[in-house]
Amino acid sequence: MTRDVLTSTLAALSAELADAKRQASSLNIQMAKLQASRREAYREEQEYPNTAGRLERLTKHVGPLYERKKQLAALQERLGRIGQALASDKTAWESERATYESVVGLLGRIERQIAVPAPAAALEPVPDPEADERAFKPSTLLSVAGRAILDARKDAVNPSGKSAPRYEDRLETAFTAFLEIIGDKPLTYYLPIHMQDFATFLARVPTNRSKIALFKGLTLEQTVEKNAKLPLDQRKPCMSETTVASYLSEVKNIWSRVSAGVPGLRDMGAYRVSMPKDTVSSIDREPMAIPSLNIWLRDAATPKLMKKPHKAWLPLAGLLTGMRLTELIYLQRTDIVDAEGNEVIDLTRPLRLGGQDIDRPVKTKTSKRYVAIHPLLHECGFIEYAKNVKSPDGFVFSHFHTADDPPDAAQKQMYNWMNALGIHKTQRQVFHSLRHSAKDWFRDHVGERLADKQCGHAFSGVSANYGAKLLKPKEVRQIMAMPPPEGVDFSEFTKFPPNSY
């Protein structure tokens, strides 16, 4: 029996059953009236014997009515049983049909997979043709649902897909790690305690494992096992508390979006994870120590280092602008502009590459800002160098753009340089410490709000978010009027004319 026939039969049966109910209701009314008439006839015969005969005539009608009532009751019962049977057939038919369509779809995907290898997401069950394919079910694999969430986010914030923001990379890395460690299972499989299992395993994963040749090509489990078998003095340090917490946060973020559209899933985000004992405690970065700063700047100003301007100018620029390393690496000479009578670095502009405008890679929305140029940057010669640099796309630090990941290449070079000078302290005294030093310098002289504007930090509170987000001309001049950072020796840069470099 086809679906249409079942549906029309059920509709006709429902109409017939409704008609039988109406007849039964009408019959009940007739019987009630007849009973009332019989009681009245009985009373009349008691009082007036000459009226005998009416009760007898009325009684003759009772039998047929009772018989008709029994027939209607039997009819309703039969129609009800038939309706239930047909409804069961319809449900079974729909279930079989859904199974049939699912199997056909699965076979089709397997056939395509044999022809052209596809990712694991190709095993996604075929949804109802009339529903959005992202209408996931409790039986949907996490790899399928999570991939849809990540792709939707990518389409929204990075539609060109030309360069993935670092946060997008972290989401992908954390999601891939969770699938590998806990497994790619149906959504109903996952329990809040799996977040604890995830954290406990991560605490044994070597940090920066993808950059260590020893672990190349290994799974996470193989990497953990190999690292554990190394002698203690050769064993690679594992993920820090901060990194583990970051992975947990990204997975909880993805899960919250997946579970929003699927009823009955567990709340993974509310689970309180105990940080594994072996994780390295997070270390707060500190401002650069003044003696270390002076060692660094003296070395940078030497003729030997100035032959590598892409390297030598970075510490000075980082300290006096408060810019992040990535922001400096993507700085172009055309970013130095006049804004209402003041020369500033304009990070609101797109990058100009090959004659096309490209979105500037920034960490946060507030990173797109004006950066005031302190006079020391002119006195030391950096601004003249930056405005006259000769490179194909006008990058001030173009040397690093020969690498696949320019900021990473610069970070490694700064790390090696600081190590060689003996001023590097793991996580505490690093290149980013210059930004902490700059923030203290700005905060001490122009206050918290202008320090936030200069460094591209988000304002705290509703009130602070009112007003101009970019530095105003008066504010630029306030920063330009600041005295040099106390105790820092710039003499090696300022004793020579800027163009002597």
Residue position matching structure tokens 């929305």: 365
CA distance 469 to 141: 44
Name every residue whose Cβ is closer than 8 Å to that of residue 147 and which is 6 or more positions away in sequence: 119, 121
The verdict on 110 and 12 lying in the same domain is yes
The verdict on 394 and 434 lying in the same domain is yes
Residue 265 burial (CB < 10 Å; 0-12/13-18/19+)? middle
The verdict on 108 and 147 lying in the same domain is no
In a domain, 216, yes or no: no
Task: Render pLDDT for 10-31 as a digit per residue (tens, 0 to 9).
Answer: 566 566 667 767 777 777 787 7
- Residues in the chain with pLDDT values less than 70: 1-17, 20, 42, 46-55, 58-59, 76, 78-131, 160-166, 282-283, 496-501
Task: Render pLDDT for 289-316 as a digit per residue (tens, 0 to 9).
Answer: 999 999 999 999 999 999 999 999 999 9
DSSP 259-298: HTTSTT----TT--PPPPTTSBPP----PPPHHHHHHHHH
**Residue 101 confidence (pLDDT):** 56
Q: Which two tokens stand for residue 331?
A: 């700085």
Short-list 423, 427, 455, CA closest to 439: 455
HSE on the CB side for 466, CA within 13 Å?
Answer: 2
The answer to whether 370 touches 339, Cβ cutoff 8 Å, is yes
In a domain, 136, yes or no: no
The verdict on 474 and 361 lying in the same domain is yes
Three-class secondary structure of residue 205 per DSSP: coil
The verdict on 168 and 84 lying in the same domain is no
- Domain of 151, in residue numbers: 142-203+239-259
Short-list 471, 433, 434, CA closest to 452: 471
The verdict on 316 and 382 lying in the same domain is yes
Task: Report the largest interatomic distance among the alpha carbons of the chain, rounded to a whole angstrom.
Answer: 144
The answer to whether 198 touches 181, Cβ cutoff 8 Å, is yes
**Residue 63 confidence (pLDDT):** 73
- Local structure of residue 204 (DSSP, 8 states): T
The answer to whether 272 touches 197, Cβ cutoff 8 Å, is no
The verdict on 320 and 386 lying in the same domain is yes
Report the domain count for the chain: 3
**Residue 176 confidence (pLDDT):** 94
Give every strand in the sheet of 370-372, ordered side by side: 336-339, 342-346, 370-372
Q: Identify the domain boundary among 96, 115, 134.
A: 115
Q: Spell out where 151-234 has E strands.
A: none
CA distance 197 to 276: 10
In a domain, 195, yes or no: yes
CA distance 471 to 76: 82
